[in-house]
Amino acid sequence: MNPQSKIRQIQDRSANRDWRIDFISWAGDDSKPMVKGIENPMGILSLLGMMLFLGGFAYIMIKRGSVENMAIPISTCIIGVGLGAVGSILHEKVRKRNWITVNAECLDYETKLGRTSQNAHLWALRALCRFELNGAEVLCTPEITWPKRKGEEWKYSLISNQATCTLLVNPKRPREVELLRLKA
């Protein structure tokens, strides 16, 4: 077994842990890991921001006592964080600009209460949805999380009483979807 398929098995096992509904991968090849790369120039902006932050931080740590003016390395770190944040936001906007909105039938869904690594409580929802795109029926499993304070009932802002939902779909990889809130 090659290392790539081993990584993919770990991803699948991790994605399905403690869920009744199995995750349906959006990646085309089941033997390769699911990876989202730098798909547009905004991703490079984000990467540049991360490199600026790390470079400024490393400079501060290496030259701790010998730097008279800390303004330049600190401002490099701050600019790096800003570029990273702006680059990440713009990367997602550019990546999703050609995605389409579809109405889907929600065949099944489940919610569960979990915790983040910082011990914050989150609700998570995984749905099994079916929609038609270009004459082909597509099954997918969108997931979304929200803070505990909003309560489990918040899922009804995503899935209607008639078991329908609205999805944002990548037309190149139709299983890569995002749940959208229902219109009021």
- 171: pLDDT strictly greater than 60: yes
- The Cα–Cα gap between 87 and 137 comes to 35
The pLDDT value given to residue 118:
76
Q: Residue range 125-131: average pLDDT? A: 93
Ramachandran region of residue 134, left (φ > 0), alpha (ψ -120 to 50) or beta?
A: left
Q: What is the pLDDT of residues 31-84, one digit of tens each?
A: 666 666 666 778 888 889 999 999 999 988 888 777 778 888 899 999 999 999
